[in-house]
A = this chain, B = another copy of it.
Amino acid sequence: MNKSIEIQQQKETLRIETFSDGVFCIAVTLLSIEIGVELHGDVTDKELAHALLAKWPLYLAYVISFVNVLLAWIGHHSLFKMFLKPDNGIMVTNGLLLMLIALVPFPTKTLGEFLLTGGFKTAVIFYTAYFVLISIAFRLLWYAATRKAGILMNGVTAEQIKLTTRNENIGLICNAIIFGVAFINPLAALVFSFAMWVYWLGFA
């Protein structure tokens, strides 16, 4: 293939990855927007301290989503490192993924706000369902990259492709199991999520 065309294609891939990085970066930082205490009139030191402590579910939801989006960002990069040329299939599936990532503040907020209410189970089901959707978008992005020749770089080995396919499948299956567990025991589903982090860090 012509060398200058190849460089041009890599530039296009880089541009899309830079834009995607921007969405990950803004989404993760926007998670903080909803966090705050609402107290009106004069307050005492004790009241403020209690109000700050009482918001722990918001902090927990923030931490969970921050780590999840950061791991998704790392996973996104390890896919894009293999792409030579983004075609329409990549554009559409990557767009779908970004649409979901940009909206992560919504399930996060929902989880944080309803963690201590009678709506706890629904909040966890919603949150875990959301990350099943993200796994599906990742799986589709990888499918779009492998369904025909010419999208992955020449240097990518069959071994690497197999390993990535396996990882994406494991991610999807684990998130689906966590989602299923949420219906039976929401707390167990959250704990299972934390266990996944350690697993993924091994691939970072």
Contact = CB atoms under 8 A, between A and B. Distances in A.
A32 interface: yes
Contacts of A117: 42-43, 48
Interface string A28-41: 11111111110100
A118 B73 CA distance: 42
Nearest to A124: B45
Contacts of A189: none
Given A33-B33, A67-B95, A52 B110 contact: yes
B35 A106 contact: yes
A74 interface: yes
Interface in A19-63: 19, 21-37, 39, 42-49, 52, 62-63
How many copies make up the complex? 4
A155 to B, nearest CB: 12
A156 B201 CA distance: 28
A23 B23 contact: no
Nearest to A31: B102
Contacts of A48: 110, 114, 117, 119, 122-123, 126
Contact of A21 (B18, B34, B45, B74): B18
Interface of A: 15, 18-19, 21-37, 39, 42-49, 52, 62-63, 66-67, 70, 73-74, 77, 88, 91-92, 95, 98-99, 102-106, 109-110, 114, 117-123, 126, 201, 204
8 contacts: A15-B21, A22-B25, A30-B32, A30-B33, A33-B33, A48-B122, A52-B110, A70-B98
